[in-house]
Structure 1
Amino acid sequence: MTTVLPVRRPGAADELPPAGDERSTAGRRADRARQVLGRTAPWLVRGVMATAVLVFALLAVGPHVLGYRTMTMLTASMAPEIEPGDITIATPVAVSDVTEGMVITYHMPVDDHSLVTHRVVSVEKTPDGSVLVQTKGDANAAVDPWTAHLQGDTAYEVRAVVPELGHLVQLLRTPVVSQALLYGAPLMLAAWLLMTIWRPAPAAAPTHEDKENQE
């Protein structure tokens, strides 16, 4: 079989693309961008949904099923171990087992009795079985100006810290974001389902017989 190649004359202009080929560089880039978006969008939706499920399980389901408590740290009194915006995970422990060095979450015996997470610096057990503790924030210069009487049989010791998650929780609680999630999450789910159903099947690679027929 003989192949004839055209001879280009010196100074001749480059061959122009066929008249029917109207695709420009910008058009090819747009097609490539659509292909990339079509591949990444389903994974992005799955990632957002998986994150939402994990956060919901950690903050809403876990405390009821596993018995732990979560709290968002609002101050830097326990920095650098616990920074503002971190979420603490505290598990129950017997009041009689509370010892110096533990980081516990309890109600302050002053002002509005809000929750505080500080380190125990002293423990006193009275003859009637009550447990009195003094605490201090790791970043504070002085011990807390009160002595806390741990009520009941159970205290809560901080076992783990989830960095920065509290900022996300506070953001989700804002009216604008909560409304957007209320209506946007179902739309994202519907879009993901539609993309899964209507996603075109990938074109099959040409077989050896197809190549022979083309020749």
Structure 2
Amino acid sequence: MSATLPVAPGAAAQLPPAGDTRSLAGLRAGRAAHIMGRTAPWLVRGVMGLAVLIFAVLAVGPHLLGYRTMTMLTASMAPEIDPGDVTIVTPIAISEVTEGMVITYHKPIEDHSLVTHRVVSVETAADGTVTVQTKGDANEAIDPWTATLEGDTAYEVRAVIPELGHLIQALRAPVVTQVLLYGAPTLLVGWVLMTIWRPARTDETDEEEQS
């Protein structure tokens, strides 16, 4: 003897036919949306945190802590300092400059541009004038000049931030500048909205689980 269960009208239409890929595609889309929903807030926070950190190092720190940042343009100090690396230099009294230090100073020839090289010799005159000879670690010869350190202070390299100079150069590109000009506020607004809406989504999920 067999029994027939009552079926509500339209109930069969709610079940996808065998082999229908629509349910599988929907499941995958739902998983992708779920992963994106969890990843996006952390991604936004990471980008915002990195931006704040770079701004603090390059703009705030020099005013509060007294250091300066320089971008290495050549490979003369490789591999310790590669092109595109950013060096953090701090002032020291010129009387404290010793052999082996890596310092940044204006070279006394041509355009008097800044150079960051290692000190190989130091001489102090009777009047207190300090002159140095320097050499790039990657160069075979000593720099072809003797530099007189002017003023009361010199700048010693204290730390190196790899590749940051490339990022700074990229951010100065006109296209990137426009993207940041309009994208950064949008990113910030999106982060704020996600922070506000996230508790609401959590409450809704809890209610669904309890029901």
TM-score where L is the length of structure 1? 0.85
1:20 to 6, 14, 28: 14
Q: Write the deviation string for residues 32-63 of structure 1: whole angstroms up to 9, x where unpaired.
A: 10111111111111100000000000011111
2:89 is aligned to 90
CA pair 196-18 structure 1, distance change in 2 beyond 3 A: farther
The number of residues matched between the two structures is: 194
CA deviation map 1:11-42 (0-9, x unaligned): xxxxxx94214552111101110111111111
Structure possessing the higher radius of gyration over alpha carbons: 1
Could you report, residue by residue, the CA deviation over 1:140-166 in whole angstroms, capped at 9, with x for unpaired residues? 011111111100110010011111111
Listed one character per residue, the Cα deviations across residues 70-121 of structure 1 (whole Å, up to 9, x for unaligned) are 1111110000111111111111111001011000000111111111100000
Q: How does 1:141-156 map to 2 (within 5 A)?
A: 141-156=140-155
Task: Give the Cα–Cα distance (whole angstroms) in 2 for the partners of residues 97 and 29 of structure 1.
Answer: 65
Partner of 2:205: 203
Where does residue 103 of structure 2 map in the other structure?
104
> What CA RMSD, in Å, does the superposition of the two structures yield over aligned residues?
1.9
Structure 2: any 5+ residue segments left out of the alignment?
1-10, 17-21
- Residue 77 of structure 2 is matched in structure 1 by 78
Cα distance in 2 between the residues matched to 1:193 and 1:77: 45
Residue 46 of structure 2 aligns with which residue?
47
- Seen in structure 2, the aligned counterparts of structure 1 residues 144 and 27 have a Cα distance that, compared at 3 Å, is same
Normalized per residue, the structure richer in helix is: 2
Structure 1 CA distance for aligned equivalents of residues 29 and 164 of structure 2: 37
The answer for the alignment partner of 1:13 in structure 2 is none
- DSSP-derived class of the 2:14 partner: coil
Q: Bigger CA drift: 96-105 or 173-182?
A: 173-182
